[in-house]
Amino acid sequence: MQAKLAVLVSGNGSNLQAMIDAIAFGLLPAEIAIVISSRSDAYALERAARAGIPTAVVPRKAYADNEAYSEALLEVLAPYQPDLLLLAGFMSVLSDRFVNHYAGRIMNTHPALIPAFCGPGFYGARVHQAVLDYGAKVSGASIIFVETGVDTGPIILQEAVPVYDTDTADSLAERVLAVEHRLYVKAVRYYLAGRLHIRGRRVYITPGEGGEK
Ligand code: GRF
């Protein structure tokens, strides 16, 4: 029985596309059971439809607060019984009840090297602009397990990229995004292979079959 993924999106969906492609290439022994978007205009919905994946829109703006929104998401997700939830460019904050319900089974990608340039207000292009404004020489991608709090969960994988003097937020975003796509697929592959073990704040990655990295 293949693992069932649920992917939560809000925008372009390039991380969703990375998962769709990885599954198509046989890299991930999983199926995407549902893609849920917080916005009806997310291009990610077109990517899902092209891949024949069921979609749902649960518009964040239709709900008074994160708690009510998270309850609506829980109801939509329940019938699919996902094994793993992937936040992929998802821009809404999930309630503690939601996160605790799926504890240990929600991942997210952040386009910076957590704990730098993360937390409330650090999303999308703002992250990269903050890196440039600070004069940082490296940035990168972080794949984490989601816990209560914004970008505070245990780090699964990280990889740095150089920041060039000539960079703009867009050029840096592009360089980081390419790493996110590769790292996120790797993190999901490790999870599905049972190779991720959380102890306290640290995520230990055990070797794969035959010592595969
Ligand atoms: C990514 O950098 C992601 O980390 C951030 O939004 C960007 C676009 O994600 N949250 P996607 O193309 O919608 O997957």
pLDDT in tens, 146-156: 999 999 999 99
Instruction: Give the pLDDT score at 210.
Output: 76
Q: Which helix (H) or strand (E) holds 56?
A: strand 55-57
Name the active-site residue from 101, 110, 181, 197: 110
Domain spanning 110-213 has what CATH number?
3.40.50.170
Band (90; pLDDT cuts 50, 70, 90):
very high
Ligand 1 atom with minimal separation from the 108 CA? 4
* Intrachain domains 1-102 and 110-213 with the same fold: yes
The pLDDT of residue 1: 77
Q: What is the pLDDT of residues 110-122, one digit of tens each?
A: 999 999 999 999 9
Cα(188) to ligand 1 centroid in Å equals: 16
Q: Which atom of ligand 1 is nearest to the CA of 9?
A: 13
Q: What is the mean pLDDT of the chain?
A: 97
How sure is the predictor about 174, in pLDDT bands with cuts at 50, 70 and 90? very high
Ligand 1 mean position, distance from CA 124 (Å): 7
Q: Is the pLDDT of residue 66 over 80?
A: yes
Domain positions in the chain are 1-102, 110-213
The tokens for 21 are 């492609």
**E runs forming strands in 78-137:** 84-87, 106-110
Contact assessment for residue 120 and residue 40, using Cβ atoms and an 8 Å cutoff: no
pLDDT of residue 126: 97
41 alpha carbon – ligand 1 mean position (Å): 15
Q: How confident is the model at residue 36 (pLDDT cuts 50, 70, 90)?
A: very high
Strands (E), 58-114: 84-87, 106-110
Whether omega before 82 lies within 30 degrees of 0, making that bond cis, reads no
What is the distance between the alpha carbons of residues 54 and 174, in angstroms, rounded to a whole number?
A: 28
* Mutational test site, ligand 1, from 20, 127, 156, 177, max ligand atoms within 8 Å of CB: 177
The arrangement of secondary structure in 1-102, i.e. its CATH architecture, is 3-Layer(aba) Sandwich (3.40)
Q: Which residue has the tokens 């460019």?
A: 89
Averaged over 111-138, what is the pLDDT? 97
